[in-house]
Amino acid sequence: MLTQPQFYATPGAFTFLYPPGHRIPFIAADDIGAIAAAVFAAPDTFAGQTLELGGDVLTGEEVAAALGRATGRPLAYATVPAEALRQNRLIERVVEVAIKLRVDVDIPSLRAIHPGLKTLAAWLDAGGAGRIPVTSR
């Protein structure tokens, strides 16, 4: 999701859905695949479990700072304006629910399943930074 240009439409900013200070989990797509493969390989071990996924749990400000460091272009954090959310009731409702929902990601347990689980910084260092379409004009 972090590679989508609409999150960088405002020059010098990373714009995301959640208010400042709200912590949300982030996970690399290949980590999702690796964890899914491990679960499918050992169905008896994971039967009946729910795994909350994340390689990092960060605020929007922390994400903007990490993206700025990785790309060499300082980025401020901005939230999608409320009026823009109101134009898409589904997205507005998803944000409302997500703000109330607290996801408890057990990163050490996930890392036991998939030792290569990446933090946002590790994903950026492994080539993710090159996929970030930031502008600093």
What digits encode the pLDDT tens for the residues 88-130? 888 888 888 888 877 789 999 999 999 999 999 999 999 988 8
Strand locations in 7-130, DSSP E? 13-16, 24-26, 56-58, 76-79
Mapped onto helix, strand or coil, the DSSP state of residue 14 is: strand
Query: pLDDT band for position 137 (50/70/90)?
Result: very low
Q: What is the pLDDT of residues 11-37, one digit of tens each?
A: 888 888 888 999 989 999 999 999 999
